[in-house]
Structure formats: C-alpha cells, structure tokens
Amino acid sequence: MIALDSPVRTLFERIAAPAALADPDLEAIGAALVALAGDIDYMRRWTEKIAGPTGRGNGSLPIHAPERGPRLMIVHRPEGEMSAPHDHGTWVALAPIVGVETHRRYRSAGEGHGHLDLLEERALAAMDVVTLLPPDDIHDHGHIAGRGDAAHVLIMTGDDQTRYTRNEWDLATGRRRTLGPGETGRWLASEPMP
C-alpha cells in the first residue's frame, strides 16, 4: 500500500481523471510523471535500490503495480544497451530521472513484416517525457555509448502490458515476433530472439 503522503500517491491522483478518458490525456499524464521524476530526493531511494550494493545494477523494479490499471516502474539499462523494439498494447509514458535515455519511435512496414522505419530519435534527459498510444507505439529505448550516463527512467503504462498480445522486433535480422499474453519479451536488443 502506498502511504497517503507519498509522491507516488500524488502521481496516481493527478493521472486518475486523464487516464480514465476514452482517449487518455497523455500530455497531462506526462506532466505528472515528469513532476515525480523531478523529485530527486524521493527518487533517490529507487535509483539506489535498482543500483544495488555495487552501485552498478540494472533492471526493472515495480513501484506501483496493481492487478489492473495504470502502473509505474523504474528502469535502468546497462551502458550501451537498448531495449528490443517493441509495442505495449496500452498507452505508455517515459521520463528520465537522471542520465540520458535514447528513445526511438518506429513505424512498421505492414502486418506480418519485420522491417521498421525510424520516425524519430530523441536523447531524453531530466524534465523530458515521451508518451505513446497504440497503434503508434512501436519504440525502443535505452543507452547509446558516448551519450552521457545511462539513465534511470520512470515508465508508466495504462495497464499491465503482459495482458495484451504485443510484438517485438529484431533490427539486425528484420524479424518480428508476436508475444502472447503473459510473455515478457527480450530485455535487451543484444539478446537473441527465440
């Protein structure tokens, strides 16, 4: 349970109405997420938790993950590593806390095809946000070597993405793979696609 005075509680109160709309107000959701990411004193406990005792840990930790509805996590990928290109099946917002996160958005060449066309690439830093709404939510994100420190980012989704049929792509081979409900997919683009 989240403490009533928690900044996370405030986030979920702020996004309740915008997230409940038939067309979620992603601008309002993104602004609320940036406000939480900007609370460096509060977020330090989460960045330290994911960093672990060595200070070099990476991964994904849920901050608030109800069975249904919007959920929040903190993510940190290793230096020089990107996620596999993927979609979510639900709206998503991403905001860096610290560091630089590269975010690339793609368009699929068509149903059944693995080729992706790059539409946009952004280097995101603190106070930046990206929001996506299906079906225009194909993206990858993470760190590109030489572009600052690998970021710690907050990611909020409109629901548990693993409830949906989703896709992931392999840019090197052009393959697309369908992920059924319950499948998580690859954490890093450098992992082989099954």
Q: What is the DSSP secondary-structure string of the chain?
A: ---TT-HHHHHHHHHHHHHHSSS--HHHHHHHHHHHHT-HHHHHHHHHHHHTTTT---EEEEEE--SSS-EEEEEEPPTT-BPPPB--SS-EEEEEEESBEEEEEEEESSTT---EEEEEEEEE-TT--EEE-TTS--EEEE--TTSSSBPEEEEEESS-GGGS-EEEEETTTTEEEEE-TT----SSTTSPP-
Predicted local distance difference test score (pLDDT) of residue 132: 97
Q: 7-160 domain in CATH 2.60.120.10?
A: yes
pLDDT digits (tens, 9 = 90+) for 40-92: 999 999 999 998 877 778 889 999 999 999 999 999 999 999 999 999 999 99
Kindly indicate the confidence band of residue 20, based on its pLDDT and cuts at 50, 70 and 90: very high
Whether the pTM exceeds 0.75: the reply is yes
Which string of b and e fits 154-191 if b means at least 16 CB within 10 Å? bbbbbbbbbebebbbbbbeeeebbebeeeeebbbebee
Instruction: Spell out the domain ranges in the chain.
Output: 7-160
Q: Which residues pair with 39 in a beta bridge?
A: none
b/e code 89-127 from CB counts within 10 Å (16+ = b): bbbbbbbbbbbbbbbbbbebeeeeebebeeeeeeebebe
Q: Which of 2-11, 15-24, 38-47, 55-64 shows the lowest mean pLDDT across its residues?
A: 2-11
What mean pLDDT is reported for the chain?
92
